[in-house]
Amino acid sequence: MVRVLAIADEEAPNLHAQALRDLAPDLVLSAGDLTWDYVEYVASAVDAPVAFVPGNHEPAIPRVKQARNGTYVCDGIVCDAPRPHGALNADRTVLELAGLRIAGLGGCVRYREGPHQYTQHQYRRLARRLARRARRAGPVDVLLTHAPPFGLGDGDDRPHVGIEALRDAIEILSPTWHLHGHIHPYGHAQPDRRLGATTIGNVIPWRMFEIEPRQAAGRARAGRMVE
């Protein structure tokens, strides 16, 4: 089992450095709308890889490349290492970390101008590309997004409507967990939802999971939340 700490949207005062060390996650996943300073703080406090997808309130993230000599380049110009430092950007790609495969898709459905916001039509294209990439990589353990699927834990106001294309992506990839943020619970428990073999969970402000890698298990098995 892989111990996964998932965080999103709200900085948790009880996740101080000692608490993070006591939780001892094997992997940290950020579902977005957290300051880069906070993600870097979490990354510095745990002995585990950290991956994130951007939320709709985060600044644009430049696509940089790392040269063979270790320097970073953006549009042919040497630049600083991408932030948040110590975290890998999972947006629109598939990462394999701590024995789990994570497919990521950031942002939310467009309701105003700004980075990391897309129309439902744009999300259909992005989700199809991600699904093709993920299927080539092998079984997906976690689908990590900022916004939830349409009709499965989303809101009824324009800024919080869910992503229609995620329903098809979940059915195609059948991840063990789909983890997201964006929908603030405001102190009310947010029950998990199910779509096929996938459990969909709102992780604001943080949750711990134990997930068995599908590749190691040879077949999909449901992870369980750690209270």
pLDDT tens readout for residues 165-212: 999 999 999 999 999 999 998 878 789 999 999 999 999 999 999 999
- Residue 90: is its pLDDT beyond 60? yes
Q: Model's pTM, two decimal places?
A: 0.91
Burial 146-173 (b: 16+ CB within 10 A, else e): bbbbbebbbeeeeebbbbbbbbebbebb
Please state the φ and ψ torsions of residue 77, each to the nearest 5 degrees. Answer: -115, 135
68/37 Cα distance (integer angstroms): 27
Q: Contact, 44 vs 86, CB < 8 A?
A: yes
Q: What is the pLDDT of residues 17-41, one digit of tens each?
A: 999 999 999 999 999 999 999 999 9
Q: Contact, 8 vs 205, CB < 8 A?
A: yes
DSSP 191-224: --EEETTEEEEE-SSEEEEEE--HHHHSS----E
CATH number of the domain within which 18 lies = 3.60.21.10
The two tokens of residue 138 are: 């092998």
Cβ burial, residue 206 (10 Å; 0-12/13-18/19+): buried
Indicate the number of domains in the chain.
1
**DSSP category for residue 76:** T
Per-residue pLDDT at 225: 43
**DSSP category for residue 147:** S
31/161 Cα distance (integer angstroms): 16
Give residue 220's domain range.
Answer: 2-226
Average pLDDT, the chain: 91
